Each structure stands twice: as C-alpha cells, then as structure tokens.
Amino acid sequence: MEEEPEGTVTVRVAVGADVKYVYAILEEMERSAKARGTGIARRTPQSLCKKIYEGKAVIAVVRKIGGDLPAGDVLTDGVVDAVANGMGGDRPVDNVEDMVDAGANVLVTEEWAGFSYIEAWSDGAFVSNSGLIVNPVYRKAGVGSAIKSAIFALSRQRYPHAQIFSITTGAAVMKLNHKLGFQPVTYSEITRDGTFWDQCRHCVNYPILESNQRKMCLCTAMLFSPGEDLFSAKSVFREKSVLREEKTGAWSVVR
C-alpha cells in the first residue's frame, strides 16, 4: 500500500508566480493522456500562462521543508521562508509563517499538486472546466475533488449565467461532475463552437468524432445549467476531507 503524503494541500486561484509550474503541469498532462491511451487538446505553455494571468485557473500547492541553507543565504521568491532549526527532511508544512518566528536555516519550497482552468465559448454562453490534472504524488487524497469544486465555483463566479460543460471518458471526473449537479447530455446541447471541437484533433478518437459529424464520440458530455444550482459559488463547500475556507477563498485538503 502506497504511503499517503502528510500535511495540507491548499487549493486556490492561480496567480502570476505560479507560471513556474506550467511546464511540469503540461508534462504530466501528456504523460497521463498516454497512460490512458487517449490524446489531449494541445495546450501550449503560453496558453496556460495566459489563463493564470487572467485569473481563470485554479492550482493546488503544498509547501515542503527541504535541506539546510548555507549560512547567510537570503531567501527570495521560490525559496519561501526559513523555519525552525533541526526540522530538515522533505515534509509538508502546515503553518510556515508561525515557524519563521523560531528563526532558522531550513529551506522551504512549494510544489504543485493539481491544476485546472476555465475557458469561455460561444460568446460566453458556455464555459468548459478543462485540463484537470493531479500530481501523481497527491492522487487518491481528495485533491481532484477539491480542484473540481474550486474550478466550478470560479466558473460560477466569473460567468454566473453561462452553462458549464465537461466532456470526458474518466469515470472519476463524471462522478465529481454529477455531485456538482452536472447531467449527461448529447453533444448538440453543448457548445457548437468549432474552435472547441478542433482541439480534439490530437485525440486518438478524433476520426470517430468526425465520422459522426461531431455529434457523438467516446467522451460523455455533461452539462450544468445555472437554473440547476445546488449551491452558491460563495457558499461553504464541504465534502469528506475537502473544506473551502470562505475567508481566504482557498480550499484545503486535510488528510
């Protein structure tokens, strides 16, 4: 049985400083798609960076304690903080800020745990929740559920009148969608924007989509309509180990 990572993963709206994770996220997206035997919509580093800078992406991060710093080193940006002496190793940190006051020379770094972004189609009538990926280290720990809930809430906040859709072959994603109020629909009920469907060209199943005039394929289309709202984007969302903290706007996965 695999050992589960300890600590708290924080899920929040991505900020400019998070672009440093883009290449690692794209690599994992491609690796996961190959493992499933499917293709993915081709995403460039520039496109993901754009989503981050526009405030249309959600990221899960975890802070970890690394090795000792050389005496006199100054911590900046990627090197987050110094924490108490003698707390070396490679362990997540629950409250780095409190530890800093103890004064020490231990390096604290941050690692991405999950990611997703939103995209508007048909002049904002539809919004897709796309690119959901979880770092393999943090899978089966509630991160995917927290990311999905956060990106859904962000979509409702940014596009309150839009219909939100998802197409997927993944049973886990379908289950999460269902919990949020998504319903299976035909392809004719989601966006007909050609740009969206063109992204499927890199999928191994694209010939099936084309042979059916883009009206049917192996992916299941699921749709959420605003009139079917189960909870407000401003409400507190709780499910098992997933908690959204209203004050900070961040979600935490506590194991």
Residue 243's pLDDT band, with cuts at 50, 70 and 90, is: very low
108 three-state secondary structure: strand
Q: Answer for the pair 255, 141: CB distance below 8 angstroms, yes or no.
A: yes
CATH number (domain holding residue 217):
3.40.630.30
User: Would you say residue 105 lies in a domain?
Assistant: yes
* Residue 1 placed within a domain: no
Average pLDDT (90-107) is: 52
Structure tokens at 53: 């800078």
CA 140 to chain centre: 14
**Residue 192 backbone phi and psi in degrees, to 5:** -105, 10
Task: Let me know if residue 3 belongs to a domain.
Answer: no
Question: Does residue 72 fall inside a structural domain?
Answer: yes
Closest C-alpha among 116, 110, 99, 108 to residue 29: 116
Distances from the Cα of 53 to the Cα of 22, 128, 142, 166, angstroms: 12, 18, 26, 23
Q: Is residue 245 part of a domain?
A: yes
Helix boundaries (H) for the chain: 22-36, 45-53, 96-100, 143-158, 171-179, 194-198, 206-211
Query: Please, which residues bridge with residue 221 across strands?
Result: 167, 185
**Distance between alpha carbon 20 and the CA centroid of its chain, in Å?**
15
2 falls within a domain: no
| Percent of the chain whose predicted confidence (pLDDT) is above 70 | 67
**Is this structure's pTM higher than 0.95?**
no
pLDDT grade, residue 184 (50/70/90)?
very high
Number of domains making up the chain? 1
Element of type H or E holding 184:
strand 183-185
**What integer is the mean pLDDT of 62-77?**
52
Q: Which amino acid is at 1?
A: M
pLDDT in tens, 135-172: 999 998 899 999 999 999 999 999 999 999 999 888 88
The beta strand positions in 27-152, using DSSP E, are 57-68, 82-83, 91-92, 106-121, 126-134
Structural domain of 210: 8-254
**Angle, CA of 244, 234 and 10, to the nearest 5°:** 25
Does some domain include residue 158? yes
* The pLDDT of residue 168: 87
| Cα 99 from Cα 110, distance rounded (Å) | 15
Residue 241 lies in a domain: yes
